[in-house]
């Protein structure tokens, strides 16, 4: 029989004590992951209107789903496929993606790398925000020009006459032209959002709140 007072027995008891649950393994609130709150300090009344409009446009997803279900039923249950569902769904989904840009900007949910901003003081952080704003304006101008060229070619002939670009399918709808118009509209809205944020950023700098 092993002596309970022997060094070997004491070492075994100590090992069991380490294996047993302890306070070190208990739940600690400091390790709980809490979602980072979105900074909406730069948003304006334009962003609020865009956010409301985005919530309405979200219903386009349901419409696209319903007509897709209708197409599946007509095609496989009644052997009578439609000529308009595919192009309509493509237009709706493309419009949702395009209008998602202004909505995401209104919610300030675009992907951001804030490593440098978190490492500097308030004044430097504000300067970075102003630079981001200027870069955003430049981005909107560049993309806006490209979308304007696409929309113009989709709605006019080379001679300048009004003519909507069509799909060339059996339905031959003008939805390709409308899709490019929606792209241009989305960039215009984003440009207005960026311009509306300018006075607030500059006022904050002049007011010494940076």
Structural domain includes residue 20: no
**Tens of pLDDT, residues 140-180:** 999 999 999 999 999 999 998 999 999 999 999 999 999 99
Q: Does residue 13 belong to any structural domain of this protein?
A: no
**pLDDT category, 1, cuts 50, 70, 90?**
low
Tell me if 195 sits within 8 A of 137, measured CB to CB: yes
- pLDDT on residue 32: 56
**3-class DSSP state for residue 61?**
helix
Tell me, yes or no, whether 1 lies in a domain. no
Residue 139 lies in a domain: yes
Q: Is residue 141 situated within a structural domain?
A: yes
46, 196 contact by CB (below 8 A): yes
In a domain, 169, yes or no: yes
C-alpha closest to that of 193 among 144, 126, 127, 128: 144
- Residue 87 within any structural domain of the chain: yes
Question: In the predicted model, what is the mean pLDDT of the chain?
Answer: 83
3-state secondary structure of 149: helix
Number of structural domains the chain divides into = 1
For the stretch 28-39, pLDDT in tens is 555 455 555 666
How many Cβ atoms sit within 10 Å of the Cβ of residue 99? 22
Domain hosting 202: range is: 42-107+120-206
Is 165 contained in some domain?
yes
> What average pLDDT does range 1-30 have in this prediction?
52
């Amino acid at each position: 029989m092993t002596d309970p007072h022997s060094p070997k027995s004491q070492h075994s008891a100590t090992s069991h004590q380490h294996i047993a649950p302890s306070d070190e393994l208990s739940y600690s609130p400091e390790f709980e992951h809490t979602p980072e709150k979105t900074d909406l300090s730069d948003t304006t009344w334009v962003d609020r209107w865009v956010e409301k409009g985005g919530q309405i446009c979200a219903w386009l997803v349901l419409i696209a789903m319903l007509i897709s279900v209708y197409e599946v039923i007509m095609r496989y249950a009644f052997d009578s496929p439609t000529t308009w569902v595919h192009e309509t769904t493509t237009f709706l989904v493309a419009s949702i993606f395009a209008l998602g840009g202004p909505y995401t900007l209104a919610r300030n949910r675009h992907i951001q790398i804030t490593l440098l901003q978190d490492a500097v003081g308030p004044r430097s952080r504000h300067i970075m925000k102003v630079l981001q704003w200027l870069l955003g304006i430049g981005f909107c101008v560049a993309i806006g020009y490209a979308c304007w060229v696409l929309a113009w070619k989709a709605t006019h002939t080379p001679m300048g006459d009004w003519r909507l670009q069509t799909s060339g399918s059996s339905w031959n709808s003008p939805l390709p032209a409308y899709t490019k118009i929606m792209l241009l509209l989305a960039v215009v809205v984003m440009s207005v959002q960026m311009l509306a944020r300018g006075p607030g950023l500059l006022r904050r700098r002049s007011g010494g709140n940076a």
